[in-house]
Amino acid sequence: MPVILGLDIATVTGFALYDTDASLSSIKTGLIKAEGNDAEQKAASIAMQMVKLITSTKDSEGRIGIDFIALEQPMRNVVSFKKTRQTLAGPVEENTINPNALQLSSLSGAVVGIIAAYRLPWVTIPSSTWRKHFLGMGRSPGFDRAAWKRVAVERCRALRITVKNADAAEAVGIAMAAEASQEFRYLKVGRAAA
């Protein structure tokens, strides 16, 4: 019974444990909150919590109960945008970036380091890929971030999957899309042949 761990990595990371041989309503979800004052402390926090999550799945013989891990692929570019700031001389327009976008790579790197240390197979899945698989649509004009999150929660509710928030719902989508990935299929074929 292959178990996939889906991860929507952020400062509040949603996770979903998906037993591909069980009913969808049995998917277990939760959240990991990265604590700390800066990106490095938050990366260390998420790494330690990943260790706890992985080891919590061990059976009585000490075997890890996760067979495959999928995480949403972090954006590979940092997008700048214009922001107006008020000064004594009046409004000033300046270019800026979302600092959370920079932090996501640190958090993802910490998670991948822990996954690699446990020698667990893994894959990154672009948001457009898991959304198309889970929600039936990739990027749609006019859909903003809040709309995507709302639709993910609604989809989980329709499937009778209990989720605490949109981060956990997106992790469900990532885990379910991982089942269709080439990497997961290779893992399954290898186990069937063994």
**pLDDT in the model for residue 84:** 81
Q: Is the pLDDT of residue 101 over 80?
A: no
What the block records as the tokens of 45 is 């926090």
CATH topology of domain 3-193: Nucleotidyltransferase; domain 5 (3.30.420)
User: Which distant-in-sequence residues (6+ apart) come within 8 Å of 5 by Cβ?
Assistant: 15, 16, 17, 18, 53, 54, 66, 68, 69, 70, 175
pTM: 0.85
124: left (phi over 0), alpha (psi -120 to 50) or beta: beta
Q: Which of 21, 19, 67, 74 is nearest to 46 (CA)?
A: 74
pLDDT band at 145 (very low <50, low <70, confident <90, very high): confident
Sequence ranges of the domains in the chain: 3-193
For the chain, how many helices (H) and strands (E)? 6, 7
Rounded mean pLDDT, 109-132: 94
Using DSSP's 3-state secondary structure scheme, residue 46 falls into helix
